[in-house]
Structure 1
């Protein structure tokens, strides 16, 4: 299985269920891929995506899929999470709470309801990390919000397939209109039609980071903290493609002025007599 040349080929454009993507990152045991596929298929989901699995699907995968082999066979494989979600309008990471990457925490029921609503603007990804270590901080930075399954604190560990099953069930209920009220008020509405794609947002964030460096915004401080806060701020804004183009135009002018200021400084310094 290979990654499609166009990320949009990874998701069917039809129903809301077709736009819901289950992404498995760095899966360590091939059997878990099959178990996750089975969990999805029982709940009417079909869009499975793999990111850099440690081992390719094998006979264990087929055995654990128990009839969901078609999902595994159709699953595209990407080298990175950024590539796998490039065309998505909303990305949710299933994870334990992280103190370093502060994402809006969502209950599975709330996450499912908002994910289904967000499919109106394009593909939505629910991302699951490695069996032992989960998603790393860099991968979590690519997510708009985090899903926390409220397991027993005395024994909080869920295996990968169980986590996929819980969230697939909640998605199924939301698709059927049976999710009921969300347990907490949503702080960020799901993206509307025309929302910027994940790739567009990541391009903006990369240019923003470059610009902040060029204007010496950080003044010698580590840039990670400021970028985390700025990412959260802009993700809450639910930018559309036109918004991103406008902001990138502002950044381009700021970068141009920074270059001119640097060139002027060099010229002034070169003209001094030592």
Structure 2
């Protein structure tokens, strides 16, 4: 089964909207987010001219296909799953946030027609209305909980739309293999002993700290290669300085004595 929501099976249901402009704005929000089925229940003083003006030409197809119903029960008859928006919390209600609801609707939407119901602007959905629904969703707000109807429709349509987007697989680079890590640790321990950074009598005590540090970083193969290159350079430089010191010592022993004879 697809891990995306099926927008073709999603409908927005406006129950007793009081303002024709809100119907048009809701249609526009739906069209923006790829949802095309709009059901309007017993609107108050419907003015299709104001609906069309607010919807704009872009959502004219949504407006043209509006299905009108006299009651919410009649409107919801064709749907297998119904989610209702509500601003009221508490009691025994199990209320989901919009993102959670969108995720819950992904499997449901593939085999069922789904309705998302919005109540009238001034008082929302009644308890009787809510009994017709399978689940509740609440749009979290700050101190002022009342949203404009069209704004609420846009928020929910956005969440449903983003649930249709292909889930991006997180980038997973090739991590360093155990063989690569062990080689790096052996090389690092050797050079740290040689430069007297760790106690040669008990090098693993300090190496355990270093291993824990690198383990938290989850080193990639390329990063291990860079670290090993740095270790080689430190080792080369230390060896070079050692050889330079030997050469300088030999040169000093060959300096002539004050009487002009060379040192033995």
Q: In the alignment, what sits opposite 2:74?
A: 83
- Taking the aligned partners of 1:145 and 1:120, their CA distance within structure 2 comes to 17
Q: Is the 8 A contact 2:118 2:124 kept in 1?
A: yes
| Partner of residue 160 from structure 1, selected from 140, 143, 149 | 149
Q: In the alignment, what sits opposite 2:84?
A: 93
Q: RMSD across aligned C-alpha pairs, in angstroms? A: 1.9
Q: CA deviation at 1:179?
A: 10
| Partner of residue 23 from structure 1, selected from 13, 23, 31 | 13
Please list, as runs of the form range in 1=range in 2, the aligned pairs for 1:129-208 lying within 5 A after superposition: 129-152=119-142, 154-178=143-167
Q: CA deviation at 1:121?
A: 2.1
Q: Is the 8 A contact 2:9 2:109 kept in 1?
A: yes
The structure with the largest alpha-carbon Rg is 2
Question: Which ranges in structure 1 are unaligned for 5 or more consecutive residues?
Answer: 1-14, 181-274
- Taking the aligned partners of 1:142 and 1:83, their CA distance within structure 2 comes to 11
Q: Is the 8 A contact 1:33 1:57 kept in 2?
A: no
SS at match of 1:23: strand
Q: In the alignment, what sits opposite 1:249?
A: none
- Taking the aligned partners of 2:134 and 2:168, their CA distance within structure 1 comes to 21
- Taking the aligned partners of 2:113 and 2:98, their CA distance within structure 1 comes to 18
- Rate the CA distance shift 1:21–1:179 in 2: closer, same or farther, 3 A: farther
- Taking the aligned partners of 2:27 and 2:37, their CA distance within structure 1 comes to 9
TM-score under structure 2 normalisation? 0.59
Whether 1:69 aligns to 2:92 is no
TM-score under structure 1 normalisation? 0.57
Q: In the alignment, what sits opposite 1:258?
A: none
Q: Is the 8 A contact 1:108 1:170 kept in 2?
A: yes
Question: Which ranges in structure 2 are unaligned for 5 or more consecutive residues?
Answer: 170-264
